[in-house]
Structures are given as structure tokens and as C-alpha cells.
Amino acid sequence: MKEVYIAGDNIISSLGFTTTANMDALRSGQIGLNLVTDPTLFPSPLPLSLVDTGVLEEQFREVLTLRGKTDSPQSFTRLEKFFIISIHSALAPLPIVPEDTGTLFVLSTTKGNIELLEVRNKNQFDSRRVFLWEMAHVVRDFFGFAHPPLIVSNACISGIVALVVAFRYLRTGMYEHAVVSGGDILSEFVISGFQSFQSLSPTPCRPYDAGRDGLSLGEGAGTMVLTTDRRLLKGAPVRITGAATSNDANHISGPSRTGEELSLAMLEAMKEAALSPADIGFINAHGTATPFNDEMESKSIALAGLLDVPVNSLKGYWGHTLGAAGVIESVVAVHALEDQLLIRSAGFETPGVPHPIRVISETVEQPMNSCLKTASGFGGCNAAILFERTIP
Amino acid sequence: MSQSITAYSQIRSSCIKVNGSIEYCDENFITFAEFIKPFFKHLNLGYPKFYKMDPLSKLGFIAAELVFRKINIALYDRNRVGIVLANASSSLDTDLAHQRTIDNRSQYFPSPSVFVYTLPNIMIGEICIRHQLKGENGFLISEKFDSLLLFNYVNELFQHHRVDACLTGWVDLLQERFEALLLFVEPTTKAPAEEPLKVSIPFSAEAMDTLYKIT
């Protein structure tokens, strides 16, 4: 089994177009959720985390130029632009090339180009573009990846599943490098659906807080480049050392009553990495701020024996970014480990979950070596992945 | 360590097959609902939740039901039985249904019971609930049936000791066109247990292709 290192990354969110911009914003406590009035998204104002369209177009034109492309920016959808800018940004400083047959390309999304179903968007693109494989092929062709994309669409755990599959394929030597990219845009489709569930908060979401009243939605994309070739990396890179997924087998839209199944995924990931609860520096959990999700997570954390471990959710900063969430939150987890930084769980004030989990209430520096990242989603799915520092 | 396919089901071209034998055929249907409902009744499962499912989940549910008729799932650790599925259309059939509820502002009625099915892995959730399976989950998308995509994913689950057995295959449905091929995969045993309903086909991408081509 080979070691799997993180070689590079990118985040595109309301907080910026690079990992550095996003980390700086998180460090200074900047919130990307703003009250948005846009009738093409939702009839009434809602707190949303939106990627700046002006900057997006500017950045995209720049990537076209840098890559010597003559395509019109209009021939790409908003989400394809997210993916292309994000992958370009993550790969730019690295000697890893998409055309290499040793490079795997994994793409995570829940809804892809779903906005193309809207009446106002009809006939702007070939109708095939709404298929996730067609969208992924557009991104593949842009970079010339040697292999067809491995596409994961597994609800809110998609981004972690994408990292997990890349981790496993690299570990056994099937590939040498992997480009794992996750993204989703905000659309009327998704917002109307969550609203029909009455699961959206009228104010920026407050994970684990006693007054939490639902989630906030966001959009974005993230990319993580993985490699088994340590020679390509400087310093002490972070590794992925364990991963697992599980299913509640309980309800398609409500979390487990016991939290047992998420804890199973956490414990399996820790077992694979040969780590015990005392080794875990912090947990970056899913923390959507719906009453039931956060309650379930606290039960899982208790069952896994992790009540002493600091916990945060990043949803209070940029909302739930669906197919991007697992990747962009993992990128933050990796940089938080490198920077030895516990990031405040935005929106949290008063404990409001059944078990006394240690929610991070202030951003502080702290020595630590590993992070357990988790997610759960519709369909009863759960995922956990472990990031560990390489001790220099 | 090698794996075998020990049970499989196919739903395509108006016929339903289990382990290669025809279970049911109906040439006279127009919609998927007309095709699947009589067969569901014939199975006599007493599982009213079925009627709440979207067409894609119904297709996957029935295909899985037939596989698990050949397997004594009580003999397995259900925390270590995985499900890895793939298709081309994701949940687009139900996506179109949800979109119709929001297309017109004067008739705006998005429904949680439709919206929840706008994710393909809900089908995995339905199968997990029915058979109480709590192991690994993965839903993948490819333009066409891709045996190597599924084989590699499932093979890695075994290599990493993440599963004792895995249900895998292809379940695709869009606007009345549908097909399913589900396989139960587990380590090859030298002396097969007294389970006469099982088959034993060495698990490989080629074997999956062969089963997919047989209609």
C-alpha cells in the first residue's frame, strides 16, 4: 500500500477564488452568506453564499488565455467555469499533468448543469449538457485528461466519496496522481426543493447552536490534487490515511436516530489509519444546522469516543455547497492542519445538541497532527476521511 | 483473494430475469409503471413504501429484491455489505418532474416527496432500508454501462477489506426507457456453502459485460 499525499488544491466560493483567499477570509472570520434578492433563484430574499459572477467571468477569460484556448466563454456553463478555473488553479504550480496516463480525474457533483432545465435557459446549450457525464466530458476535454472522468453523485457526501475513491486507487497503485474536483451551483431547482422541505433558515445558519433553525445554501467548487510521488512535494505534506462510508438504513431524508452508522464510518476510518481518539486533532463535521443532522452528529461523535476532540462546521461561513462541500471543506481541513489552526465554528454560541461536543468557539492556533472530516446526506449516506500531517 | 458473482438480476426488454432464468415478461406495457406494478404485486412483499418511490428507485428496488431472494442475507454482517451502483441518467427522470412543479410561478408547488428523489443514491438508501444494509455506499455516473468502472470500485473495496460482500450494477431509467443489471459479489469460497440458489461466476469486468449483453 502506497502513501497518498495532498499535492495541491483550490477553493472557489463566495470568499474568493484561491485557497489562500478563502483561508485568509476564514481566519479573519468573514462570512460569505448574504441576504440575496434574486427572483430567478427564489421569490423572496434568502441568505445565500454566491460566487461573484463578474470575477468568475474575468478569471475564466484569463484561464482561456493562459491555456491558449480560443473557445468562447459562452460555450461553457457556470458550473463548467467553476470546475475549469478550480482545476487550473490547483494544477498550475504542480508538475502533474492531466494528459499523463497515471493521472486519474474524479469529479463530484449532485446536480451538474441542472439550471439548463429552466425555461429561460432552454436552447442555450445542447440538451445533452444536462447529463452529468456530458458536463464532465466538457471539463475532461478542456484539460485533455488521459482517462474518462470518474463521476461521483452521492448526495451531500459526494465530495468525500470522490476523495475516498481516489485515495483507494492511488493506495494500491492503480494510478500515481489524482485530480479530485467537486462543485455545484445554486439554482432555483435546488433552492425550491430545500425550501419545500422547510429546511432553510431565514438567517445565516448556526451549526450546533441551540437556536439553529435550518441550513443555508451556497455554491462553489474545490479541487484537491493527490499523488503517491513524494519527490514532487516540498516540506511535510499532509496525507490521507483512512476512509470509510456507511448507510443509516433508516430513512431517505432524515438522519439516523442513533448516530451509530456515522460513528461506524468514523471508527472504520480511524482503524484503517491506526489512530485512536486521542490522536485526532479536530473534527471538521458536516454541521448543516438542521436540528436533526447536528443532533445525530453529536451522538456519533459520542459513540466514537471523540467527545474530547474539538469540532467545527464551515457551513456558517459559506453554507452547504452540496457536491463541492466535501472537497472544499477537506481543503480547509488540510490547510488548518498545516497552519495548526482551529477555526471557529461560525454561528455557534449556545450548545444545542444532546452530547457535550467541543464546538470551536474561537479561532486559535494549536499543535495537532490529524483531522477527521465527516459528512452525511440524503439517502442515509455517511462518510469519514482522515487527514494526517507527515511529521518532518 | 478472488470474488465471485453469486446472484444476479436483469430487467430489460420487457423481461425480468434472475440468475439467467426468465421470471416475468410483459410485451404489452406502455409506461414503466404499467410494467412494474403487476410484477410488484406478484411478489407479494407487503411493502407499501414501494408506492412512494420514484420510478428509478422502484426499478433498483425490484432488481435488488430478486437478488436477495437468492441470498440468505441473515448469514452476513450487514455493516459490511456495500452497495455500488451506476447509471447514465442520474435522477433526471424525477428532476424533470420537480422542474415541472416550479416552471410556472402561478402554479408553484415544489414537493418534498418529489424533491428527495432528485438524487440517484436515494435508490441505494431504499435498498439499504429494505435489507438493513449499512456498509459502503457509492453512486457513479457514466455515459454507458461501464463494467470496468464498477469492477475497479468494488474490487478496491475488497482489497481494502471494507466489505464482506457487495451489491453492484447498473440501474438506469429515463422517460419510460429502463434497464437494470444487479450483481451480488462476495469472496469465492472453495467449498460453496449449502446455498443451492446461488450461482458462481468469477467476478471480472468481462463477466459483467457478458451478463450485460445477454438480454
Closest-CA distance, A152 to chain B, in angstroms, reads: 5
Report the length, in residues, of chain A: 392
> Span A163-178, mean pLDDT?
98
Q: Does residue B190 surpass a pLDDT of 70?
A: no
B215 band by pLDDT with thresholds 50, 70 and 90? low
The pLDDT assigned to B180 comes to: 98
A228-256 per-position pLDDT tens digit: 999 999 888 999 999 999 999 999 999 99
Query: Per-residue pLDDT for B193 more than 80?
Result: no
Mean pLDDT of B140-156: 98
Please tell me the distance from the alpha carbon of residue A111 to that of residue B120, in angstroms, as a whole number: 10
A150 touches B at CB < 8 Å? yes
What ranges do the domains of chain A cover?
4-232, 238-389
**Which residue's entry shows cell 483531522?**
A371
Q: What angle do CA B78, B11, A109 make, to 5 degrees?
A: 65
Q: Which of B102, B103, B120 sits opposite A153 (nearest CB)?
A: B120
Any domain includes B161:
yes
Q: Does the pLDDT of residue A26 top 70, yes or no?
A: yes
Which residue, A368, A373, A378, A170, is CA-closest to A265? Answer: A373
pLDDT band at B191; cut points 50, 70, 90: low
- B34 domain-assigned: yes
C-alpha–C-alpha distance, residues A262 and A376, integer Å: 8
User: Is B99 within the bounds of a domain?
Assistant: no
Average pLDDT, chain B: 95
Is residue A138 within 8 Å of A66, Cβ to Cβ?
no
**What is the distance between the alpha carbons of residues A206 and A195, in angstroms, rounded to a whole number?**
17
Range of the domain at B31: 3-90+119-213
What is the C-alpha separation between A121 and A287, in angstroms, rounded? 33
Distance in Å from the first CA to the final CA of chain A: 21
Q: Kindly report the CA angle at A152 between B111 and A55, in degrees rounded to 5?
A: 80
For A379-391, the pLDDT digits (tens) are 999 999 999 999 7
Q: What is the pLDDT of residue B105?
A: 82
Q: Kindly indicate the confidence band of residue B189, based on its pLDDT and cuts at 50, 70 and 90.
A: confident
pLDDT band at A325 (very low <50, low <70, confident <90, very high): very high
φ, ψ for residue B62, nearest 5 deg: -65, -45
Residue B10 makes CB contacts below 8 A (sequence gap 6+) with: B16, B17, B18, B63, B180, B181, B211, B214, B215
Contact B139 A154 (CB under 8 A): yes
User: Is residue B76 in some structural domain?
Assistant: yes
The residue of A200, A252, A270 whose CB has the most chain B CBs within 10 angstroms, and thus the best one to mutate to test that interface, is: A252
Q: What's CA A358's distance to the chain center, in Å? A: 22
Residue among A240, A260, A232 nearest A248 (CA): A260
Q: How many CA atoms lie within 13 A of A335 on its CB side?
A: 21
β-pairing, B21-25 vs B15-18, is antiparallel
Task: Quote the longest CA-to-CA distance of chain A.
Answer: 56
At residue A231, φ and ψ (nearest 5 deg) are -60, -20
Q: Which H helix or E strand runs over B25? A: strand B21-25
Stretch A78-85: mean pLDDT, rounded?
A: 98
pLDDT of amino acid B101: 96
- Determine contact: B133 vs chain A, CB below 8 A: yes
Residue B98 is assigned to a structural domain of this protein? no
| Cα–Cα dist A186/A322, whole Å | 9
Is the predicted pLDDT of residue B213 greater than 70, yes or no?
Answer: yes
- Mean pLDDT of all residues in A112-121: 96
Is the sign of the CA dihedral A289, A295, A298, A304 positive or negative?
negative
Predicted local confidence at residue B192, as pLDDT: 63
Q: Which of B90, B102, B137 sits opposite A132 (nearest CB)?
A: B90
Whether residue B88 is predicted with pLDDT greater than 90 in this model: the reply is yes
Per-window interface: B 56-85 vs A, CB < 8 A: 78-79, 83
Question: What pLDDT was estimated at residue B93?
Answer: 98
Extract the C-alpha cell encoding A150: 470518474
Q: Which DSSP string do the residues of B61-129 spell out, in sequence order?
A: HHHHHHHHTSS-GGGS-GGGEEEEEEESSTTHHHHHHHHHHHS-GGG----HHHHTTSSTTHHHHHHHH
**With an 8 Å Cβ cutoff, is A173 touching chain B?**
no
Q: What number does CATH give the domain A238-389?
A: 3.40.47.10
Give A392's pLDDT tier (boundaries 50, 70, 90): low
| Touching B: A residues 301-360, CB under 8 Å | none
Give B-chain residues touching A325 at CB under 8 angstroms. none
Give the count of Cβ contacts less than 8 A between chain A and B: 161
What order of strands is seen across the sheet that includes strand A217-218?
Answer: A34-36, A46-49, A217-218
User: Can A4-232 and A238-389 be said to share one CATH topology?
Assistant: yes
Locate A49 and state its grid cell. 453564499
B114 inside domain: no
CB contact under 8 A, A117 and B99: yes
- ipTM attached to this prediction: 0.97
Q: For B101-141, what is each residue's pLDDT tens digit? A: 999 888 889 999 999 999 999 999 999 999 999 999 999 99
- Percent of chain A clearing pLDDT 90 (strictly above): 98
Q: How many Cα atoms occupy the beta-carbon half-sphere of A279 within 13 Å?
A: 15
The letter for the amino acid at A311 is: V
Domain at B202, CATH number: 3.40.47.10
Assigned CATH for A4-232? 3.40.47.10
B92, B137, B138: residue with CB nearest A130: B92
Contacts of A157 in chain B (CB under 8 A): 137
Rounded CA separation A100/A232 (Å): 15
Region A353-365 average pLDDT: 98
Helix (H) or strand (E) holding B38: helix B32-43
Question: What would the pLDDT profile of B3-24 be if each residue is shown by its tens digit?
Answer: 999 999 999 989 999 999 999 9
- Residue B204 is classified by DSSP as -
